[in-house]
Amino acid sequence: DEGLFKFSFERSPTIKRIALLTSGGDSCGMNPAIRAFVRASLIKGAEVFAIREGYNGLVQDSIIPLNWGSVASIINRGGTIIGTARSAEFRTREGRKKAAFNLIKNKINNLLVIGGDGSLTGANLLREEWFGLLSELVQEKLIDASIPESDLGKLSIVGMVGSIDNDMYGTDITIGADTASHRILECIDSILSTAVSHQRSFVIEVMGRNCGWLALVSGLATGADYIFAPENPPEAGWEDVMLEGLERGRVSGRRCSLIIVAEGAIDSNGNPISSSYVRKVLEEKGGYDARITILGHVQRGGVPTYCDRYIATRMAVEAVNYLFSKTATCEPMMIGMVGNRVVRKPLMACVKETQKIGALLKEKKFKEVVQLRGPLFEEFSDIFGICANLKRMNSPKKNYNIAILHSGGPSPGMNPAVRAFTRLGIDAGFGVYGIFNGFNGLAKGDVREMTWMSVNGWAVMGGAELGTNRSVPNDSNIEAIIANIEKFKINAILMFGGFNGYVGISNLYEYRKKYKQLEKVAMICAPGTIANNVPGTEISVGADTCLNNILDALDKIKQSAVASRRLFVVEVMGAHCGYLCAMSSLTSGAERAYTMEEGVTLKSLTADLKMFSNRFKGDNRIGLIITSENASSTYSTHFIYSLFKEEGKHLFDARESILGHLQQGGNPSALDRLAASRLMNQFVKLIDEECIKKGNAVAGCIGNIEGAIKFTDIEQMKLEINHKYRRPENQWWLPLLELSRRISVSPHDD
Ligand code: ATP
C-alpha cells in the first residue's frame, strides 16, 4: 500500500532545524502546504523557519522562526503568507554562496522548496554545488573549517511543485492546478448561460504558456467545441476545420460555440495562435457573433479548493517524512501525487524531463511532448476529441447495446458521466440506452435510446437527468427487469451511482442462477456518490464537489464568528461512512472530527471539552467540530452541541449547524467532471476488451485504484462490502483522522 498515509507522530531524538520557502509564481494551496509542513515538523520536535520572498530571503538572510500559531487560519487563504519572488541573484554562483552562508549561519540544513521547475532547478543546483560552496566559505574564513564534515554540513533538500499549469513530470497534479481549473469553470459556466441565450460564440483565453493542461481540462469539462493547446497544435488550414466543426454543431442543434485558447497556443508550424485571431476567423470567415474573454489573473487567486488543500497537506507531511528519513541527505527528492497516493521521485530527473518539453515544442516533436505530459493528458485529449465530435474513431456498428442507469442519492458528476457514456459509446459502435429512474425504471420499461445530441449541454450540469432512486432488483420486479433487458436487447448495464446501486447489481448477478438469460448480460458498477462509501475505488465521483461545498460553507461559518468566542458543531452527510467528515476536517482545520468508525464516547467528549476550554482560555476565538451524520445514535450532533454549550458557557458560546442537502448540489467540480468522463472511457474499453473480443459477460465494478481505473470482479467486490454499515470493509483514509487532529490542535492544548 505504498503511497497511502504513513507518518510517525513520535518526536525525533535529534532536533532538526528546517526551513521552507515558496518561489516563482504563487499558486493556491501553498498556504495549506506551509501549514501542514510547519506543524508536522513541529510535532517531530523540529525548529522551523520561513525564508521570506523566495530565494531572495535566502540570499539576504530574511529568515524568521515559525511556531504553531504562525500558520493558524491560513488553510483557506490563496497565495503564500511567506511571500514569493523571482531572484536574479540566486541564479548566480555568488548569490548561491550567500545562500549557503546564511543557511550555515542559521544552523539550517534541511530545506523545503515549493515552486515550479525553475525553483526546483535552483534547489538542485544549490545541493550540487553545496560542498564546493562550503569549501570556498571555509577558505574565505567565513565559516569554521569543521563545518563541511559536521552534521550541519549535510544539506537535505525536498521539493514540492506549486504551479497552476500542472506542468511537472512525475506527478499527476501540482499544487494550484485544481483551484485554477475551478476558477475557470466558474467563469465558463457563467458565460455559457448567456452564450446559449444569445446563440453567441465565445473565445476564452486561459493561462498556460508551455502547457495546455488548463485549456484541456476546462474544454473537456465544459463541453467546448475546440481547444487550442501547445501540445496538440492544429495543422495548417485549421481555420476551415474549426468552422466546419462549429457548423456541424449548429446544424445538429447547438446554440452556442465555445473555444478555449491556451495563452501559449501554436499551430503545427510553431506560429502563435492568439485569441484575437481566433475571434477574427469566427467573425470574418464564419460570420459568427464572437466575443473574447481573457481570464487572466483570476485563475491564480481565490480560496484553495478541497483538492489543493488535500494534496498540499498530504505532500507536505510526506516532505517532513522524507527529511526525517535515513536517505534524506542523499539525493534531493520531489514529492508528487499519483492518483490519490503520495510518491517520492528524484527531483532533478523530474525537472529534466519537464524541461525537455520546451525544447521538444521548438523542434515540433508534439507526440513526444504529449507522452511526457503523462497518460492522463493523452487520455483526456482523446476523450475530448471524440466528445467534441472532432477526432472520432467512428468504429463500425457492433450489434451490442450498452445501457446506463443511476441508483442511490443524486451525485454531482452523473450528467457528465451519461454524456461521456453516450458519446464514447456511440463512437465505439455500440447502441446506447439511458434507463430512467433506476432499477424501477428498468422494470417499467423507462428506457430510451440515446443520441449524440440527447446529452448536449450535460457536461456542466449538476443533478441527474436520468433520475435516480433507491429501488433494487428483487423478487417482485426481476421478471419485468429481464423482460425489458430482452425487449431493448441490452447486452451490458452500467450502474453509475452509490452504495444502493452496488447492492442492486449484486442482486441482479445473484439472479443469474435462476434466470439463465442474465448470464449473457454484463453488469458493472461505477462509483458516483458523494459519500465515497463504495467498494473497488479509492475515490468516488461526486465527493470532490461535495467537499468543495462543505468547505465553502465552513469558511463562511467560521467567518461569522469574528467578534465572539464561539464553538461550531457542524454535521455533514455520509450515511455511515465518515469520509466526508474526515476529509473536510483535514482541509478546514477543524479541531475535532467525530465519525462512526472511531466512535464517540463520554471519555472522548470530556477530553475534548477540556481541550476546547484550554484553547478558549488562551487566544483562540473559534473552534470547529465536524460530526458525521450517524456518528453516534446516542451522542447526536445536537447532544454534542448542548453538552459543549452548557459545560463551556463561561468560556465560549456554541452553535449547531447541519449542512444538509446543499452538499449534494451545484455544478460538478472540474475533478468530478474529468473523473466521470475517464471512468466512462475505461468502461467502453472494458466492454470492448472483455465482452466483444473475449465474449465474457463481465460482472463487477470499476474504480480508481492507485491512480488507474481498475476492474474488480463481482465476487471480490461483494467481499469488500460491509452490509451492516453500508460502506467498504477497508477504508484507506481512516489514518488521516489522526493527522487531521494532530495538525489542527497544538500538542500544548491537547
Ligand atoms: P513558475 O511556475 O511560476 O514559472 P518557477 O519556479 O518555474 O515557477 P522561475 O521564475 O523559473 O519560476 O524560478 C523562480 C526562481 O528560482 C528564480 O527567480 C531563481 O531565483 C530560481 N531559479 C530558477 N531557475 C534557476 C536556475 N537555473 N539556477 C538557479 N536558480 C534558479
Q: Is the CB of 118 under 6 A from ligand 1?
A: yes
What atom of ligand 1 comes closest to residue 90's alpha carbon? 20
Q: From CA 710, how far away is CA 194, in angstroms rounded? A: 40
Strands 47-51 and 63-66: antiparallel
Indicate the pLDDT class of residue 1, thresholds 50, 70 and 90: low
Give 600's contacts (C-beta < 8 A, 6+ positions apart): 594, 631, 632, 634, 635, 640
CA of 18 to the centre of ligand 1 (A): 21
> What does the block give as the cell for 179?
483551484
Q: How far is CA 65 from the centre of its chain?
A: 32
Place of cell 525537455: 356
Q: From CA 7, how far away is CA 85, in angstroms rounded? A: 32
Q: Is the CB of 703 under 6 A from ligand 1?
A: no
What atom of ligand 1 comes closest to residue 56's alpha carbon? 20
> What does the block give as the cell for 243?
468552422
Q: Is the CB of 202 under 6 A from ligand 1?
A: no
CA of 92 to the centre of ligand 1 (A): 12
CA of 58 to the centre of ligand 1 (A): 14
Of 1, 26, 117, 165, the catalytic one is 165
Q: From CA 119, how far away is CA 123, in angstroms rounded? A: 6
H helices within 516-633, ranges in order?
543-559, 579-588, 602-617
Q: Is the CB of 55 under 6 A from ligand 1?
A: yes
Q: From CA 94, how far away is CA 532, in angstroms rounded? A: 53
Residue closest via CA to ligand 1's atom 14 equals 24
Q: Which of 80, 92, 114, 119, when mutated, tests ligand 1's pocket best, judged by the most ligand atoms within 8 Å of its CB?
A: 119
Q: From CA 486, how far away is CA 221, in angstroms rounded? A: 35
For the four alpha carbons of 154, 160, 162 and 164, in that order, the dihedral sign comes to positive
Q: Is the CB of 346 under 6 A from ligand 1?
A: no
Q: Which helix (H) or strand (E) holds 452?
A: none
Q: How many residues comprise the chain?
A: 750
Q: Is the CB of 89 under 6 A from ligand 1?
A: no
Contact 116, 25 (CB under 8 A): yes
Question: Which residues on neighbouring strands pair with residue 334, listed in sequence order?
Answer: 159, 345
Place of cell 447489481: 505
For the four alpha carbons of 700, 705, 710 and 712, in that order, the dihedral sign comes to negative
CA of 24 to the centre of ligand 1 (A): 6
Q: From CA 210, how far away is CA 303, in angstroms rounded? A: 25
Q: Is the CB of 90 under 6 A from ligand 1?
A: yes
What atom of ligand 1 comes closest to residue 162's alpha carbon? 2
Q: Is the CB of 23 under 6 A from ligand 1?
A: yes
Q: What is the mean pLDDT of residues 29-48?
A: 98
Q: Which helix (H) or strand (E) holds 429?
A: none
Q: Is the CB of 119 under 6 A from ligand 1?
A: yes
Provide the Cα torsion 215, 216, 217, 219; round to 10°.
80
Q: Is the CB of 354 under 6 A from ligand 1?
A: no
Residue closest via CA to ligand 1's atom 13 equals 118
CA of 87 to the centre of ligand 1 (A): 8
Q: Which of 30, 60, 62, 86, when mutated, tests ligand 1's pocket best, judged by the most ligand atoms within 8 Å of its CB?
A: 86
CA of 327 to the centre of ligand 1 (A): 26
Q: What is the mean pLDDT of residues 208-212?
A: 91
Q: DSSP E strands: which ranges in 121-177?
A: 156-161
CA of 122 to the centre of ligand 1 (A): 6
DSSP 693: I
Q: Which of 52, 89, 91, 355, when mutated, tests ligand 1's pocket best, judged by the most ligand atoms within 8 Å of its CB?
A: 91
* Whole-number Cα distances in Å, 741 to 556, 575, 589, 594: 21, 22, 8, 11
Give 335-362 pLDDT, tens digit per residue: 999 999 999 999 999 999 999 999 999 9
What atom of ligand 1 comes closest to residue 85's alpha carbon? 18
* Other CB atoms within 10 A of residue 712 CB: 20
Position 564 scores a pLDDT of 82
Give 522-541 pLDDT, tens digit per residue: 999 999 999 999 999 999 99
Indicate the pLDDT class of residue 277, thresholds 50, 70 and 90: very high
* Other CB atoms within 10 A of residue 401 CB: 19
Q: From CA 380, how far away is CA 365, in angstroms rounded? A: 19
CA of 340 to the centre of ligand 1 (A): 28
Give 136's contacts (C-beta < 8 A, 6+ positions apart): 97
The answer, yes or no, to whether ipTM is higher than 0.90 is: yes
Q: From CA 677, how far away is CA 681, in angstroms rounded? A: 6
Give 541-561 pLDDT, tens digit per residue: 999 999 999 999 999 888 877
CA of 168 to the centre of ligand 1 (A): 14
Q: Which helix (H) or strand (E) holds 488?
A: none
Q: Is the CB of 117 under 6 A from ligand 1?
A: yes
Contact 347, 332 (CB under 8 A): yes
For the four alpha carbons of 102, 108, 111 and 114, in that order, the dihedral sign comes to negative
Q: From CA 202, how far away is CA 708, in angstroms rounded? A: 34
CA of 319 to the centre of ligand 1 (A): 20
Q: From CA 47, how far away is CA 158, in angstroms rounded? A: 17
Give 140-186 pLDDT, tens digit per residue: 999 999 999 999 999 999 999 999 999 999 999 999 999 999 999 99
Give 58-116 pLDDT, tens digit per residue: 999 999 999 999 999 999 999 999 999 999 999 999 999 999 999 999 999 999 999 99
H helices within 290-365, ranges in order?
306-323, 347-362
Give 283-304 pLDDT, tens digit per residue: 999 999 899 999 999 998 889 9
DSSP 304: P
Contact 56, 87 (CB under 8 A): yes
Residue closest via CA to ligand 1's atom 3 equals 25
Percent of the chain whose pLDDT exceeds 70: 99
CA of 54 to the centre of ligand 1 (A): 10
Question: Which residues on neighbouring strands pair with residue 405, listed in sequence order?
Answer: 495
Angle at 229 between CA 427 and CA 342, to 5 degrees: 85
Q: Is the CB of 208 under 6 A from ligand 1?
A: no
Question: Which residues on neighbouring strands pair with residue 266, listed in sequence order?
Answer: 272
* Whole-number Cα distances in Å, 117 to 165, 345, 434, 534: 11, 14, 46, 38
Give 356-401 pLDDT, tens digit per residue: 999 999 999 999 999 999 999 999 999 999 999 998 888 999 999 9
pLDDT at 212 over 70: yes
What atom of ligand 1 comes closest to residue 86's alpha carbon? 18
Half-sphere exposure of 339 (CA within 13 A, CB side): 19
CA of 348 to the centre of ligand 1 (A): 14
For the four alpha carbons of 603, 606, 608 and 614, in that order, the dihedral sign comes to negative
Percent of the chain whose pLDDT exceeds 90: 89
Contact 214, 164 (CB under 8 A): yes
Q: From CA 172, how far away is CA 178, in angstroms rounded? A: 11
Residue closest via CA to ligand 1's atom 19 equals 87
Strands 201-206 and 290-294: parallel
* Whole-number Cα distances in Å, 534 to 506, 522, 626, 699: 13, 19, 22, 16
Buried (b) or exposed (e) across 596-620, using 16+ Cβ within 10 A?
bbbebeeeebeebbebbbbbbeeeb
CA of 116 to the centre of ligand 1 (A): 7
Catalytic residue at 178?
Answer: no
Q: From CA 658, how far away is CA 627, in angstroms rounded? A: 9
DSSP 169: T
CA of 64 to the centre of ligand 1 (A): 22
The secondary structure of the chain in percent helix, strand, coil, rounded to multiples of 5, reads: 45, 20, 35
Q: Is the CB of 122 under 6 A from ligand 1?
A: yes
Q: What is the mean pLDDT of residues 232-241?
A: 94
Give 133's contacts (C-beta < 8 A, 6+ positions apart): 93, 96, 97, 100, 126
Position 200 scores a pLDDT of 84
Q: DSSP E strands: which ranges in 71-116?
A: 110-115
What amino acid is encoded at 548 in this protein?
A: N
What atom of ligand 1 comes closest to residue 165's alpha carbon? 2
What atom of ligand 1 comes closest to residue 117's alpha carbon? 7
Q: From CA 689, how far away is CA 696, in angstroms rounded? A: 9
Contact 258, 290 (CB under 8 A): no
Q: Is the CB of 125 under 6 A from ligand 1?
A: yes
Q: Which helix (H) or strand (E) holds 424?
A: helix 414-427
Give 581-633 pLDDT, tens digit per residue: 999 999 999 999 999 999 999 999 999 999 999 999 988 889 999 999 999 99
| Mean pLDDT of all residues belonging to the chain | 95
Q: Is the CB of 91 under 6 A from ligand 1?
A: yes
Q: Is the CB of 95 under 6 A from ligand 1?
A: no
Contact 679, 529 (CB under 8 A): no
Position 250 scores a pLDDT of 87
Contact 653, 666 (CB under 8 A): no
What atom of ligand 1 comes closest to residue 115's alpha carbon? 6
pLDDT at 118 over 90: yes
Q: Is the CB of 431 under 6 A from ligand 1?
A: no
Place of cell 447532544: 639
Residue closest via CA to ligand 1's atom 9 equals 118
Q: Is the CB of 115 under 6 A from ligand 1?
A: yes
What burial class does residue 78 get, using C-beta atoms within 10 Å of its C-beta: 0-12 exposed, 13-18 middle, 19+ buried? Answer: buried
Residue closest via CA to ligand 1's atom 20 equals 87
Q: Is the CB of 506 under 6 A from ligand 1?
A: no
What atom of ligand 1 comes closest to residue 23's alpha carbon? 14
What is the C-alpha end-to-end distance of the chain, expressed in Å?
A: 30
Indicate the pLDDT class of residue 24, thresholds 50, 70 and 90: very high
pLDDT at 268 over 90: yes
Q: Is the CB of 22 under 6 A from ligand 1?
A: no
What atom of ligand 1 comes closest to residue 89's alpha carbon? 20
For the four alpha carbons of 424, 426, 429 and 433, in that order, the dihedral sign comes to positive
Position 387 scores a pLDDT of 96
* Other CB atoms within 10 A of residue 629 CB: 21
Give 139's contacts (C-beta < 8 A, 6+ positions apart): none
What burial class does residue 507 get, using C-beta atoms within 10 Å of its C-beta: 0-12 exposed, 13-18 middle, 19+ buried? Answer: middle
Position 747 scores a pLDDT of 86
